[in-house]
Amino acid sequence: MGSAAGGRLAAAVTAAGGLGLIGGGYGDAEWLAREFAEAGNARIGCGFITWSLARKPQLLDQVLLHSPVAVMLSFGSPLAFSQKIRASAALLICQVQNMAHVREAIDAGADIIVAQGAEAGGHGVSRATLTLVPEIADYLVRNAPKTLLLAAGGIADGRGLGAALMLGADGVLMGSRFWASDEALVPKTFQAAAVAAEGDDTVRTTVVDVVRKIDWPHPFTARVLKTGFTMKWHGQETALAQPAVLEREMERYLAASRGGDVDNTGVFVGEAVALIKDICPAGDILRQIVREAEELLGRKAPSLLE
């Protein structure tokens, strides 16, 4: 949710009973200052791409001055930052994509672990939510029973929340559904394309990083919509990286992104697009999902045992 989850969205999620996070992404000091101002006095947190934060470590100090409830680290070792975060009043959230990441997060003293399956939008790895969550749940019972577990990836309604709880999670971290909210900093054309899409209309690829000249470490790839750009260059990364081609395509890609031109850029959203039927306020989304989960767990779950 880097750059899509600003202060208004984070504050709206918190106001509805969740914990909203500002998506710090690759790190921009002015953007972070503006979005924390937008959030006002809301009880929120902030997330970072860990390997990018290592290049701009001063941004963590900037965020901690706002006394966030939590700081989330994902995509890289949290060990370089965990001590400073834990020394503050903030909780340490570590998003993980495999068991090696889990063990590192526990070593870093994570208060909360997010098990991110490959169904998720944006960057991730290859494990599926359905098996990753219970495996991590079992590991935490044995090795870190006080650490909370959240499920992420492919969850966009009450069914997903209920399923996550049954898999052993304490809750969920949800991206794509809130990306498709009134408060998200996302072009309306991007959101409309997601509402019209099916889960089959997404792909994991690296072309969106190649074209932006962002050197994501192996094995992370990004899940995006199958737009004209992504499908033209998916599997053709070497050709795209040729200097003359890259300069031309980068200019076109970034212009399309700024202008909301879906077909000529990358749209970061997950397989859960098929479950997104409308664009509405984040608070309404959260309350509806909780109501659905409560109804399913209270009514349907017991009926399965009859």
Residue whose structure tokens are 């930052």: 81
Record the tokens describing residue 302, joined without a space.
Answer: 């017991």
- Delimiting residues of CATH 3.20.20.70 domain(s) in the chain: 7-185+284-303
**C-alpha span between 110 and 87 (Å, rounded):** 12
Q: What is the pLDDT of residue 238?
A: 97
> What does each of the 306 residues of the chain score in pLDDT, given as a tens digit?
899 999 999 999 999 999 999 999 999 999 999 999 999 999 999 999 999 999 999 999 999 999 999 999 999 999 999 999 999 989 999 999 999 999 999 999 999 999 999 999 999 999 999 999 999 999 999 999 999 999 999 999 999 999 999 999 999 999 999 999 999 999 999 999 999 999 999 999 999 999 999 999 999 999 999 999 999 999 999 999 999 999 999 999 999 999 999 999 999 999 999 999 999 999 999 999 999 999 999 987 777 666
Whole-angstrom Cα Rg for the chain:
19
* E-state strands within 214-261: 221-225
Question: CB under 8 Å to 113, separation ≥6 — which residues?
Answer: 93, 94, 95, 96, 102, 105, 106, 136, 140, 147, 148, 149, 150
- pTM score: 0.95
Cα gap 92→98, rounded to integer Å: 18
Listing DSSP states for 46-72 in one string gives EEEEHHHHTT-THHHHHHHTT--SEEE
Helix and strand counts by DSSP (H, E) for the chain: 16, 10
Q: Are strands 45-49 and 221-225 parallel, antiparallel or unpaired?
A: unpaired
Provide the 3-class DSSP secondary structure of residue 303: helix
Q: In DSSP terms, which residues pair with 150 in a beta bridge?
A: 114, 171
For position 304, what pLDDT does the model report?
66
Distance of CA 82 to the CA centre of its chain: 20
**Closest among 148, 172, 170 to 160, alpha carbons compared:** 172
**Which CATH architecture describes the domain 7-185+284-303?**
Alpha-Beta Barrel (3.20)
From its phi and psi, is residue 75 left (phi > 0), alpha (psi between -120 and 50) or beta? Answer: left
Give the span between the Cα atoms of 81 and 53, in whole angstroms: 9
Phi-psi region of 19 (alpha: psi -120 to 50; beta: other; left: phi over 0): beta
> Can you give the pLDDT at residue 301?
72
DSSP label of 200 = G
Determine the pLDDT at residue 302.
75
